[in-house]
């Protein structure tokens, strides 16, 4: 059975070009575009189904464009400064305000400012009126019979005004296409905080629902379907009768529980199984009883990208509108990016604006890392025939954010600490225009990012094993020519993160070695890794006598999570990370966590905001409540290099 599945996998999953798969899909999408008549007041964002003609003129009567008097122009001829003309109310003129109808017997308006009251219902004018002056003729704005909008127009707020002005209190729009979502999987549970081991929270359905509504469709889902062919069959057959498009998630790959492709083939037709993309490959495009059925991959990044590639164009085709395009931006790659031949690669990118250049770096490429999409400023698409790009290459990226927002963000690299998230939140509170974008690359990478001009601020805690001094020796060594300022930030406590109650009684490295405990380490270049290596060196312990020395994590929280999850007995990290996951913490040492920035940034408005916020009482109080920090001389410049 498993072997058959293996063969099936190998022969079945194609590498069809994405563009070709889309063209075929759109071609197979037959639908009867339904329309409905809705109240104009509620029509924003809806798409006109037919050309809309005005039923009324606006104005629908000749209206005064000024506050003043309505007159017959001929009555006023001859009026002059030296020969004022007197007019009598109700006989020669009528008072009108802006918007009032012009009485039938009149054909011009004189502004009130040009009228002299003479009492006794008499006024005086000193210049004549031209026929039709200061009158808004019928239809000045909208003319009855005029085509206001063609079909396929997405109505905006101002368009509703034009419709109502033209007497159209209802408007015929395209019905929203209905998309059914069928989440499948024995392990899936509805969103909850209370999960059991093995449960997978079905958050994909909510993301699908939300995208579909955003794109102009309407979505529903009737609960999670277990991995059972009969239940799946029933769900698909029900859905195709109710929806214009059906999504099955997941089971779209070729594993032993991946029924989607077989079921669509059994009930209808499969056009595509597998596209030449990374991520997103295991997608199924097919049709059951004239309704498109799409199997989306289970990994969130794959799922959301394939949804955008295939479901958005179907919705737009149904609505009769163009698929919106994202802005693009030319950026320089801060790192080399490799790609495999034969697949389009979709890389989520962070983009920063430093020294007048846009620098982009790839985020985690894992298809399971939702946060890589959440944190992305843009998307780099590498064509299938490319092997990738060297560092420094100029490439085009699709933007997920307005370029203005990217330009204003303060870029933070280097060692991760929870205090940076808190600082970011206070900086945003100080002025909503300020965003901090942080990438957790470790202290040494932070120094290199400053050197290469790829970041504004680097957070470092690097212990020099020769002198026992923090940070300055490294800055002298690597940034001596780079015109940087080192600002004192925090002293933070490092220690052993251990399960609640410290069941293995860890107090020192010797305990770890002696009991052959499972350790979880930080990545090379991380300050915490250096600290651990310093301990090993001082005590003359060989790294390979530490079980798990080579298992590397990129953040303090990941270390804590590994301990919490039981895959490690301990790891070195900061107090706040242990506290966040309700773990115990055995203090080892305070270390200096300082900030490096280029002189120019330090002096900039943004740099000064950063300084002001880090020295504020509210920031300090917040960190004190987290625990594990000292604040001696925070915000002081402790070292400078010249350029």
DSSP state of 470: B
Rounded Cα gap, residues 492 and 559, in angstroms = 16
Mark residues 63-102: x for contact with a second copy by CB under 8 A, - for none: --x-x---------------------------x-xxxxx-
Backbone region of residue 259 per phi and psi (left: phi > 0; alpha: psi in -120 to 50; beta: other values): alpha
* Binders in 535-594 for a second copy, by CB under 8 A: 548, 551, 555, 557-558, 560-562, 564-567, 577, 580-581
Choice from 14, 20, 34, 61 touching a second copy (CB under 8 A): 61
Rounded Cα gap, residues 323 and 312, in angstroms = 7
| SS3 state of residue 466 | coil
Contact assessment for residue 583 and residue 562, using Cβ atoms and an 8 Å cutoff: no
Q: Which residues contact 166 (CB under 8 A, 6 or more apart)?
A: 52, 53, 54, 55, 56, 57, 58, 142, 144, 146, 148
Choice from 304, 309, 346, 585 touching a second copy (CB under 8 A): 304
* Binders in 229-258 for a second copy, by CB under 8 A: 253, 255-257
Choice from 187, 238, 430, 533 touching a second copy (CB under 8 A): 187
Please report whether residue 472 would count as binding a second copy according to CB under 8 A. no
* Binders in 397-436 for a second copy, by CB under 8 A: 402, 404-405, 418, 421-422, 424-425, 428-429, 432-433
Please report whether residue 605 would count as binding a second copy according to CB under 8 A. no
Please report whether residue 618 would count as binding a second copy according to CB under 8 A. no
Q: Which is nearer to a second copy, 336 or 407 (CB)?
A: 407
Determine the interface stretch with a second copy among 332-340, 366-374, 487-495, 596-604 (rule: CB under 8 A). Answer: 366-374
Nearest to 547 by CA among 574, 529, 520, 565: 520
Choice from 8, 60, 94, 365 touching a second copy (CB under 8 A): 60
Q: Which is nearer to a second copy, 160 or 506 (CB)?
A: 160
Query: Helical H runs in 260-343?
Result: 260-267, 300-306, 312-319
Contact assessment for residue 455 and residue 411, using Cβ atoms and an 8 Å cutoff: yes
Please report whether residue 321 would count as binding a second copy according to CB under 8 A. yes
Q: Which residues contact 451 (CB under 8 A, 6 or more apart)?
A: 478, 479, 482
Cis upstream peptide for 551 (omega within 30°):
no
Choice from 15, 34, 36, 51 touching a second copy (CB under 8 A): 51
Q: Which is nearer to a second copy, 304 or 310 (CB)?
A: 304
Choice from 78, 223, 368, 392 touching a second copy (CB under 8 A): 368
At its nearest, how many Å lie between a second copy and the CB of residue 9?
Answer: 8
Choice from 26, 38, 73, 112 touching a second copy (CB under 8 A): 112
Q: Which residues contact 34 (CB under 8 A, 6 or more apart)?
A: 174, 175
Choice from 128, 298, 442, 446 touching a second copy (CB under 8 A): 298
Angle between helices 18-28 and 312-319 (to 10 degrees): 40
**Rounded alpha-carbon distances, angstroms, from residue 325 to 25, 44, 313, 452:** 19, 20, 11, 32
**Rounded alpha-carbon distances, angstroms, from residue 421 to 96, 412, 431, 637:** 63, 10, 16, 22
Rounded Cα gap, residues 380 and 398, in angstroms = 7
Q: Which is nearer to a second copy, 40 or 361 (CB)?
A: 40
* Binders in 155-184 for a second copy, by CB under 8 A: 157-165, 167-169
Determine the interface stretch with a second copy among 78-86, 174-182, 197-205, 445-453 (rule: CB under 8 A). Answer: 197-205
At its nearest, how many Å lie between a second copy and the CB of residue 542?
Answer: 18
């Amino acid at each position: 059975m498993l072997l058959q599945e293996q063969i099936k996998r190998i022969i079945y999953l194609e590498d069809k070009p994405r563009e070709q798969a889309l063209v075929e899909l759109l071609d197979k999408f037959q639908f009867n575009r339904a329309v409905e008549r809705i109240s104009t007041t509620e029509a924003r964002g809806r798409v006109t189904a037919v050309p809309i003609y005005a039923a009324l003129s606006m104005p629908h009567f000749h209206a005064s464009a000024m506050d003043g008097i309505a007159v017959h122009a001929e009555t006023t001829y001859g009026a002059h400064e030296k020969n004022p003309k007197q007019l009598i109310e109700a006989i020669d003129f009528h008072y009108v305000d802006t918007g009032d109808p012009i009485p039938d017997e009149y054909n011009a308006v004189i502004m009130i400012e040009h009228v002299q009251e003479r009492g006794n219902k008499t006024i005086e004018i000193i210049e004549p009126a031209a026929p039709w002056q200061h009158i808004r003729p019928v239809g000045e704005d909208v003319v009855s019979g005029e085509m206001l909008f063609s079909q396929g127009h997405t109505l905006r707020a101002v368009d509703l005004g034009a419709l109502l002005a033209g007497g159209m209190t209802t408007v015929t729009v395209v019905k929203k296409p209905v998309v059914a979502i069928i989440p499948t999987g024995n392990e899936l549970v509805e969103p909850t905080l209370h999960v059991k081991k093995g449960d997978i929270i079905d958050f994909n359905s909510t993301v699908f629902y939300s995208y579909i509504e955003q794109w102009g469709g309407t979505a529903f889902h009737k609960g999670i379907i277990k991995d059972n062919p009969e239940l799946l069959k029933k769900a698909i057959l029900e859905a195709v009768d109710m929806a214009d498009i059906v999504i099955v998630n997941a089971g779209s790959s070729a594993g032993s529980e991946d029924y989607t492709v077989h079921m669509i083939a059994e009930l209808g037709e499969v056009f595509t199984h597998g596209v030449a993309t990374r991520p997103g490959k295991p997608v199924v495009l097919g049709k059951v009883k004239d309704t498109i059925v799409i199997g989306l991959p289970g990994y969130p990044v794959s799922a959301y990208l394939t949804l955008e590639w295939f479901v958005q164009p179907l919705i737009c085709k149904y609505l009769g509108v163009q698929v919106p395009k994202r802005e693009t931006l030319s950026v320089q790659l801060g790192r080399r990016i490799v790609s495999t031949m034969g697949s389009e690669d979709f890389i989520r990118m962070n983009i920063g604006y430093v020294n007048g250049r846009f620098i982009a770096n790839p985020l985690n490429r894992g298809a399971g890392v939702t946060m890589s999409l959440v944190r992305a400023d843009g998307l780099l698409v590498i064509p299938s025939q490319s092997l990738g790009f060297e560092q420094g290459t100029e490439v085009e990226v699709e933007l997920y954010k307005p370029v203005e927002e990217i330009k204003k963000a303060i870029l933070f690299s280097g060692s991760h600490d929870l205090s940076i998230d808190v600082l970011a939140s206070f900086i945003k509170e100080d002025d909503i225009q300020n965003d901090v974008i942080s990438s957790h690359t470790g202290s040494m990478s932070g120094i290199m990012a400053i050197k290469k001009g790829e970041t504004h601020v680097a957070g470092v805690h690097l212990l020099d094993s020769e002198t026992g001094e923090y940070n300055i020796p490294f800055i002298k060594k690597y940034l001596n020519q780079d015109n940087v300022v080192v600002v004192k930030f925090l002293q933070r406590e490092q220690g052993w993160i251990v399960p609640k109650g410290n069941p293995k009684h860890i107090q020192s490295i010797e305990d770890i070695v002696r009991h052959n405990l499972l350790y979880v380490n930080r990545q090379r270049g991380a300050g915490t890794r250096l600290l651990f290596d310093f301990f090993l060196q001082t005590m003359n312990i060989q790294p390979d006598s530490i079980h798990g020395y080579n298992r590397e994590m990129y953040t303090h929280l990941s270390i804590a999570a590994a301990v919490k999850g039981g895959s490690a007995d301990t790891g070195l990290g900061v107090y706040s990370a242990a506290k966040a996951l309700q773990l115990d913490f055995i203090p080892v040492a305070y270390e200096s966590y300082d900030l490096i920035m280029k002189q120019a940034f330090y002096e900039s408005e943004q740099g000064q905001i950063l300084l002001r916020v880090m020295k504020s009482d509210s920031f300090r109080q917040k960190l004190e409540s987290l625990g594990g920090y000292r604040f001696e001389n925070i915000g002081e410049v402790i070292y400078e290099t010249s350029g």
